[in-house]
Structure 1
Amino acid sequence: MQEYLDHKLECPYCGTIRLRIPAVTTDSTEIKCDDCGELLGTWGDLQDDFAKQGGHDGVFRLSSGRIKRIG
């Protein structure tokens, strides 16, 4: 089982996983890194990447824009 998230959720510019997510989003909403402000992708792309990494059925949960380790 994977213990860390990577890919699009990790900022390629500063290396953190801190997302700046607006209160109201659609799949096409642009999401930026909360630390450095660089564009990470769209909300839809980031949710797809999270799911591919076992997000909802793995060791992490994405809820209200927050990623929480479970278990």
Structure 2
Amino acid sequence: MYQAVRARMRALVCGMRAARRDAGMVTSEYAMGIVAAVAFAVVLYKVVTSGTVSAELQNIVKQALDAQV
């Protein structure tokens, strides 16, 4: 019985150590996700504010406002 309790305690302690080692990975994954989202937003902003796309978006809005029922 003593060996079974000791083995169970060892498994719990090793599990806690593994959890502590992985705790920093979550933060780095969030950081990489934020960096990727910001990069995507910058690219999207550049595309939308370019001359051609901006003119097309304005034409779409004008057509939608001038539409007759």
Q: TM-score range by the shorter chain?
A: under 0.3
TM-score of the superposition, structure 2-length normalised?
0.25
Question: Larger % of helix: which?
Answer: 2
Which structure has more RCO (C-alpha within 8 Å, separation ≥ 6)?
1
Structure of larger gyration radius? 2
